[in-house]
Chain A
Amino acid sequence: MSIPANLRYTESHEWIRKEPDNTLTIGITDHAQEALGDIVFLDLPTAGRSVTAGEEVAVVESVKAASDIYAPVAGEIIEANSAAIDSPESVNSDPYGAWLFKLKPANLDDIDALLDAAGYAKVIDEA
């Protein structure tokens, strides 16, 4: 199970990458895509939407079930990944490449409270 060391994570299985321009890119982990099975539909947020930490902002649907995706920190949605919308299966084949949305955080420091790779590994071990 791949858990890249350079990313941050949530207990609800989102990964977060801090970009050089201080925006955040968010997707779901390898563990999450594996558990969901074949992903067939993504409902992603529209740019400009303000979100609070923990707010439901997207839905990933596999053949089996729908799964909510939460904003890891407060901020504003700046982009949804339209390429992933057109090929939802890319989230299965490349979970860390097929990101879901980008977010401009209200406070960049908020990401320090998120899990690191070791912390996330512990979460999925205990699950």
Chain B
Amino acid sequence: MPKQTPLYALHLAAGAKLVDFAGWDMPIHYGSQLEEHKTVRADAGMFDVSHMLPVDITGAGAQAFLRRLLANDVAKLTEPGKALYACMLNESGGVIDDLIVYFFASDDYRIVVNAGTADKDVAWMREVARKLPSGGNVSITPHRDLAIIAVQGPNAQCKVWAALPGTEAVTAPLKYFQAARLDDLMVCFTGYTGEAGYELIFPAERAASVWQALAAQGVAPVGLGARDTLRLEAGMNLYGADMDETVGPLESGLGWTVNFAADHDFIGRSALQATPPQRQLVGLLLEDRGILRSHMRVFTPHGEGETTSGSFAPSLNASIAFARVPVAVAIGDTVEVDIRGKRLPARVVKLPFVRRGKILV
């Protein structure tokens, strides 16, 4: 029996087509995935991402615990509300999950993890804490009592301010990757689309009223289908497709999230340092007609690679992909992708493909 978010009934009423996503009944689209994609690039759309899990990490040992747990360094976070994107690695340097961690105080953090990995993540966090002296002096508290709605697009912020009184004053000063709290509503200037916007985290019992208030401001519901094409254009990784426990961050385009500062002894560090990356994650733009998908073979002058994610990119009216290829492959190179038995040329491009509505490739 798939799980349902607090917004399930509203999705049905809005005509959503539902699919099983990581054990959850989630909207894939509400009619047209392409229209939803374009709405987020041009105006504002909202996504129910309540299947993702907030986990609060509190206690005197919280900072030391997170420095051990995460490959990015939470010691960089000193301003309340500041957020950091990080990978949680296993001992062999593979990615258990990618996540965002928010700092409120050195004994008060919130992590938001992926739905498909949530149970595994919490179990891993508890195991890591247990191995520290005094259990790390941390409390690890998953919050299934919270809803998460992402509102994204050039008009998203204004529409959130109009829909939720009081939010403008506390969020207008925020920079990207900062969050503010207004009573029990947490407003995060983050997202998974390459557009401006907020991710709202708040008590689940208010999910329907917040959703309806946003709808009343003309924010259109957007499904997971468009979420995937938006994040792909924005050059953002998808856990389970672009990286997993068998591949490390340095071969997944996430080297920028790994902090090798001398005093940062995170799990997976020695494995990462013992094996220099042989492969890299790059963007591909198909130069012919066709559609790139995941797990297609990529032929380069330096050896073979494979696509990890691929789709039609509505903003480019072309097909794009991420591919894991040998490190010698350079931006601007032309490679060939095996699409259903035909080898078609693709250009290696710098990520992202699209940011803040602008095409960059």
Within 8 A of A (CB), among B265-323: 289-291, 293, 311-312, 314, 319
Q: Which of B29, B34, B290, B314 has the most CB of A within 10 A?
A: B34
Interface SS of chain B: helix, strand, loop or mixed? mixed
How far is B17's CA from A40's CA once the two chains are assembled, in angstroms?
Answer: 19
Within 8 A of A (CB), among B1-50: 17, 28-29, 32-34
B312 and A41 within 8 A (CB) = yes
Within 8 A of B (CB), among A105-120: none
B33 and A64 within 8 A (CB) = yes
Chain A residues with CB under 8 A of B131: none
* A interface residues, how many (CB within 8 angstroms): 11
Chain B residues with CB under 8 A of A61: 290-291, 312
A37 and B290 within 8 A (CB) = no
B29 and A41 within 8 A (CB) = no
A115 to chain B, nearest CB (A): 26
Chain B residues with CB under 8 A of A66: 291, 293, 340
Interface SS of chain A: helix, strand, loop or mixed? strand
Partner of A63, one of B17, B225, B290, B340: B225
Q: Does B229 interact with chain A (Cβ within 8 Å)?
A: yes
Q: Does A38 interact with chain B (Cβ within 8 Å)?
A: yes
Partner of B340, one of A37, A38, A59, A64: A59
Chain A residues with CB under 8 A of B340: 43, 59, 66
Chain B residues with CB under 8 A of A89: 34
Chain B residues with CB under 8 A of A59: 340
B311 and A63 within 8 A (CB) = yes
Chain A residues with CB under 8 A of B229: 63
How far is B294's CA from A64's CA once the two chains are assembled, in angstroms?
Answer: 12
How far is B314's CA from A63's CA once the two chains are assembled, in angstroms?
Answer: 9
Within 8 A of B (CB), among A53-90: 59, 61, 63-64, 66, 89
How far is B259's CA from A80's CA once the two chains are assembled, in angstroms?
Answer: 55
A67 to chain B, nearest CB (A): 11
B291 and A64 within 8 A (CB) = no
Q: Which of A41, A61, A66 has the most CB of B within 10 A?
A: A61
Chain A residues with CB under 8 A of B290: 41, 43, 61
Instruction: Given A63-B33, A64-B33, check contact A37 B225 (CB 8 Å).
Output: yes
A63 and B312 within 8 A (CB) = yes
Chain A residues with CB under 8 A of B289: 41
Interface string of B186-228 (1 = CB under 8 A from A): 0000000000000000000000000000000000000001000
A40 and B32 within 8 A (CB) = no
B34 and A63 within 8 A (CB) = yes
B292 to chain A, nearest CB (A): 10
How far is B318's CA from A41's CA once the two chains are assembled, in angstroms?
Answer: 10
Chain A residues with CB under 8 A of B34: 38, 40, 63, 89
A15 to chain B, nearest CB (A): 22
How far is B312's CA from A18's CA once the two chains are assembled, in angstroms?
Answer: 34
Pick the 6 closest A-B CB pairs, nearest first: A40-B312, A38-B34, A61-B291, A63-B33, A41-B291, A38-B33
List 23 A–B pairs whose Cβ atoms lie within 8 Å, in order of A's numbering. A37-B17, A37-B28, A37-B29, A37-B32, A37-B33, A37-B225, A38-B34, A40-B34, A40-B291, A41-B291, A41-B312, A41-B319, A59-B340, A61-B291, A63-B225, A63-B311, A63-B312, A63-B314, A64-B28, A64-B225, A66-B291, A66-B293, A66-B340
